[in-house]
Each structure stands twice: as structure tokens, then as C-alpha cells.
């Protein structure tokens, strides 16, 4: 694995690494933890994580403390017509219980911002619940602003959704995969499109 530059605020012995296929089970566990903390569930499996990692434009960074995965951030890069440049969407950000309050969430976010700039993205965006003040403070600290309203509609798995099938997960996490009525935080403020949740920094 390639180690990314470490932040000065880093927790002791924490390294930020690009996830590999062998990390799939650990990633799936953290995503399920994230879902549980917002009174929801996630069907994610190690197999799906490997598929995600193999999809062009999709990335997962891990925060490692020794051999333990202490947190992760997932994001996707996609072309945008309005800015005629790619944009970065933060999907999920979670720090494991027992590793919170050490600045790990900030390190993960800072690294994604660095990569987005390196990829010449026009913007980076994320959504989180209005009540998730810890995540909101984190995003604002890194220059993201509350600029757009994010709306979403969930479809029952296995079929397309019709009228009246909108569903939202209760509560909300920090990174994407959010819950009710989330707003989008975006860096360098510009009108934006969809994304996910975050759990504790």
C-alpha cells in the first residue's frame, strides 16, 4: 500500500492508506457500524467493496493504527458539464469507536481534498444531517460551506420506485449515506448534486 502524506494533527501511529481488495471485510464492517449508529442497515458485503474498489473513479482511504482500521473515507470522482471539470463527492466517512477525538476524520478529509486538487476537480461536496453538528464543524473547518439543498429518493431493492416510495433512513451519520433532509456542504461554494454521510471525527 502507498502511504499518503501525514497531517500534523494526526493521531499517534495513524497512517492514511489507499484501501486494497484485501481490506474489503474491514471496510464492510465499518460501513455496517455506520448504519447501526443511525438506526439503519446496510447490505454491503466484502464482495461489493471489492467491486467498488474496481470501479473507475471510486476510492477508499483507510486510517490505520497498527494493523487496525480506525476509520475510512470513500469518495468518487466524476466529470461535470457545468464546470467542464471533474468533481469529487465524499460518500462515507466514519471513525471507529475507540479512535474518535484524535483528529482521524480530519486527516481523512484533508487527504481527499488534497487528491481532489491534484485531480484538478472544480469542487468537492458532501452531505450530512442538519443535526450532526460534529460533522458540520469538521467540514466547515476544512472550507466546505452550506450551499445547496440535497434531495434523495430511495428505491426498493430489485425494482424501480414509483410514486410514494420515497424512504429515508432515520438519524444520520457523518458522511454520506445520510438520513432525513440532509444538506450539501461544498468547498469553494458552487451549486451541487448528490452524495453521503459521516460519523465522528
Higher pLDDT, 152 or 77: 77
- The answer to whether 179 and 169 are in contact (CB under 8 A) is yes
When mean pLDDT is compared over 50-64, 150-164, 186-200, the highest value belongs to 50-64
Rg of the chain in Å (alpha carbons): 16
| C-alpha distance from residue 165 to each of 68, 70, 171, 193 (Å) | 39, 36, 19, 21
Strand pairing class (85-95; 123-129): parallel
pLDDT in tens, 74-116: 999 999 999 999 999 999 999 998 899 899 999 999 999 999 9
Dist. CA 47–CA 59, nearest whole Å: 15
CATH architecture of 14-199: 3-Layer(aba) Sandwich (3.40)
Residue spans per domain, the chain: 14-199
pLDDT in tens, 6-29: 344 445 689 999 999 999 999 999
pLDDT in tens, 37-75: 888 899 999 999 999 999 999 999 999 998 899 999 999
- What's the sign of the alpha-carbon dihedral 171, 175, 178, 182? positive
pTM of the model as a whole: 0.75
Amino acid at each position: 500500500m502507498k502511504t499518503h502524506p501525514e497531517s500534523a494533527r494526526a493521531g499517534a501511529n495513524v497512517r492514511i492508506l489507499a484501501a486494497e481488495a484485501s481490506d474489503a471485510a474491514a471496510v464492510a464492517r465499518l460501513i455496517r457500524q455506520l448504519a447501526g449508529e443511525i438506526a439503519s442497515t446496510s447490505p454491503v458485503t466484502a464482495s461489493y467493496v471489492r467491486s467498488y474498489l474496481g470501479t473507475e473513479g471510486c476510492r477508499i482511504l483507510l486510517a490505520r493504527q497498527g494493523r487496525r482500521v480506525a476509520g475510512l473515507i470513500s469518495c468518487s470522482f466524476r466529470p461535470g458539464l457545468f464546470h467542464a471539470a471533474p468533481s469529487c463527492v465524499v460518500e462515507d466517512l466514519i471513525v471507529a469507536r475507540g479512535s474518535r477525538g484524535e483528529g482521524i476524520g480530519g486527516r481523512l478529509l484533508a487527504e481527499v481534498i488534497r487528491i481532489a486538487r491534484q485531480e484538478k476537480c472544480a469542487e468537492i461536496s458532501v452531505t450530512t444531517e442538519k443535526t450532526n453538528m460534529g460533522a458540520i464543524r469538521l467540514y466547515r473547518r476544512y472550507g466546505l460551506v452550506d450551499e445547496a439543498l440535497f434531495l434523495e429518493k430511495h428505491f426498493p431493492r430489485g425494482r424501480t420506485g414509483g410514486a410514494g416510495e420515497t424512504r429515508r433512513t432515520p438519524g444520520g451519520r457523518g458522511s454520506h449515506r445520510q438520513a432525513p433532509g440532509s444538506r450539501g456542504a461544498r468547498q469553494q461554494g458552487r451549486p451541487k448534486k448528490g452524495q453521503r454521510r459521516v460519523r465522528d471525527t
